[in-house]
Amino acid sequence: MRFKLIALCVTLLTIFMAFTFSGCSKDNEKAEVKTIDAPDFTLTAMTGEDITLSQYRGKVVLLDFWATWCGPCMLSIPELVRLQEKYRDKGLVVLGVSVDTLSQADDGQILKFMRTFGINYPVMRDDGTVSGTYYGDSPAAIPTMHIINREGKIIKTISGFTQGEVPNIVETLLK
């Protein structure tokens, strides 16, 4: 009986040590941030001009998927307007992609929404093609923002809205 108890303790101690030290290494290595290429697209902005994502290579791009009926989107848009105003000349481009279906909001309603919120960046209506490329059927949550670095890589995706989170990331990338 005593032998079984000792064997059990040794086994448990071995398992504990294996889990404890499995994540350790000799070097103080930094975790690698994985990035992926932002899928390119062309959509027509509400102003009539064609917008192609790759035309902004060399700039930091904040790609925001939103809808007119989305409460958190209404909270996030003023922050995006401020960011665009503050950092436009430093290399930031905010692009809005409305995922509203025609039954949810027609072009006139989207334009009215843009005026109401003082949106100062290009807004495009997605027919499902771009959101399909980025998410499959649809975003898991809206707003969903992709922060794309100057090399055209998505370095951060944020679902939902937390005030102050996006400016910190953008400011770091623009340095």
Residue 21: which H helix or E strand, with range? helix 2-21
Per-residue model confidence (pLDDT) at position 139: 67
- Report yes or no on 23 lying in a domain: no
pLDDT digits (tens, 9 = 90+) for 98-151: 999 888 999 999 999 999 999 999 999 998 889 888 877 666 789 999 999 999
Question: Given a cut of 70, is residue 160 above it in pLDDT?
Answer: yes
Q: What is the pLDDT of residue 31?
A: 33
pLDDT at 143: 94
Total domains in the fold of the chain: 1
CA distance 161 to 163: 6
pLDDT of residue 132: 83
Q: What is the pLDDT of residue 97?
A: 96
Higher pLDDT among residues 131 and 57, named by residue: 57
Closest CA to 46 of 89, 10, 82, 98: 98
Integer Cα distance of 53 and 144 in angstroms: 16
Any domain includes 88: yes
Q: Which is it for the CA torsion 63, 104, 72, 36, positive or negative?
A: negative
Is the per-residue pLDDT at 24 higher than 80? Answer: no
> What distance in Å separates the CA atoms of residue 26 and residue 95, rounded to the nearest whole number?
44
Residue 117 inside a domain? The answer is yes
Average pLDDT of 67-82? 95
Asked if the structure places residue 154 within a domain, the reply is: yes
Domain for residue 63, yes or no? Answer: yes
Element at 58 (helix H, strand E): none
- What is the pLDDT averaged over residues 80-107? 94
In degrees rounded to 5, what are phi and psi of residue 5?
-65, -45
The answer to whether position 76 is within a domain reads: yes
Do residues 146 and 153 touch, judged by C-beta distance below 8 A?
no
Domain with residue 41: its CATH number is: 3.40.30.10
4, part of any domain? no
Q: Which domain holds residue 57?
A: 35-174
Question: Would you state the pLDDT for residue 25?
Answer: 29
Task: Report whether pLDDT(16) > 60.
Answer: no
Report if residue 95 sits inside a domain. Answer: yes
Classify each residue of 61-83 as buried b or exposed e, where b means 16 or more C-beta atoms within 10 Å of its C-beta.
bbbbbbbbebeebbebbebbbeb
Question: Rounded to an integer, what distance in angstroms lies between the CA atom of residue 95 and that of residue 80?
Answer: 9
Mean per-residue pLDDT for 31-47?
A: 82
